[in-house]
Structures are given as structure tokens and as C-alpha cells.
Amino acid sequence: MTVLRCKGCGTFYIPPKYVCSKCGETSLEDYPISGSGSVYTFTTIFVAPEQFKSQTPYDIAIVQLDEGLKVTSRVDRPDQSSLHIGDAVNYLKKDELGYWFTPSTR
């Protein structure tokens, strides 16, 4: 997983920006991170918009990455196990819907 990192102060950003909000630096770079984190909060969607009805129920979570960033994402639970605040998750992919994470065994 990659995020943007300010070359001036080291602050991480998701989504991308052009100027660092912390120090004003305009030199930002792609930076690899672990993609590991935990569920900060989540909701399970049972009644979805028309284009997502076939995917219900599904989880939307705010994931707190180990590097300190928070990102809104889908959580893919192939076995339909319960999801809880604090559960460990790992980055799975990014597509047109956004970021996807999956439960971790760490």
C-alpha cells in the first residue's frame, strides 16, 4: 500500500494532495506503508443503493493504520465472521470503490 508523504516534515496523506497542510511543502512523494491496522469504527450496510444491493450485507469501516492515518474502506469478510472495533485488518486492494481491507490473524 502506498500513501503520500511530505518530504519536508514526513506527514502522511490519504487521499493525495498537492501541498502539505502541516508545513506548506509542495514536494510530496509516494511512500510504501505496511497496510496493517485496526478497525476504528464500522457499520454494516443492509439496505444499499441500487448498484450495491447484490453485495449486502457489507461493512464500511474507518481503519486506523499502524502509521497513524485513518482511511474509510470496505472490509471483505469472506467467511462472514463478526467484525468488531479493534479487530486487526490488512490492506487488500484499491479499486474504483476505494480501499479494501480484510481481517488479519496478527
**Residue 14 CB contacts under 8 Å (≥ 6 apart), including other chains:** 3, 4, 69, 71
Each residue's pLDDT tens digit, 78-104: 777 789 999 999 999 999 889 999 998
This prediction's pTM: 0.86
Phi, psi angle pair for 54, to nearest 5°:
-70, -10
Residue with cell 502541516: 22
- Indicate if 28 and 49 belong to the same structural domain: no
**Is residue 41 scored above 80 in pLDDT?**
yes
Q: Are residues 47 and 78 in the same domain?
A: yes
Whether 22 and 43 share a structural domain: no
Kindly state whether residues 16 and 44 are assigned to the same domain: no
Question: What value does the mean pLDDT take over residues 26-44?
Answer: 95
Residue 60 sits in which domain range? 36-103
- Asked if 40 and 81 sit in the same domain, the reply is yes
pLDDT (mean) for 45-60: 93
Q: Within its chain, how far is the Cα of 51 from the centroid?
A: 22
Among 19-28, 45-54, 71-80, which stretch is predicted with the lowest mean pLDDT? 71-80
- Supply the pLDDT for residue 106: 62
**C-beta atoms surrounding 38 within 10 Å:** 18
pLDDT of residue 15: 81
* 51-65 CB burial, b ≥16 within 10 A, e <16: eeeeeeeebebebbb
82 and 40 in a single domain? The answer is: yes
pLDDT of residue 16: 80
Q: What is the CATH number of the domain that holds 57?
A: 2.40.50
Query: Are 40 and 86 in the same domain?
Result: yes
Could you give the number of structural domains in the chain? Answer: 2
Give yes or no: residues 58 and 99 share one domain: yes
Which residue's C-alpha cell is 464500511? 60
Same domain, 43 and 93: yes
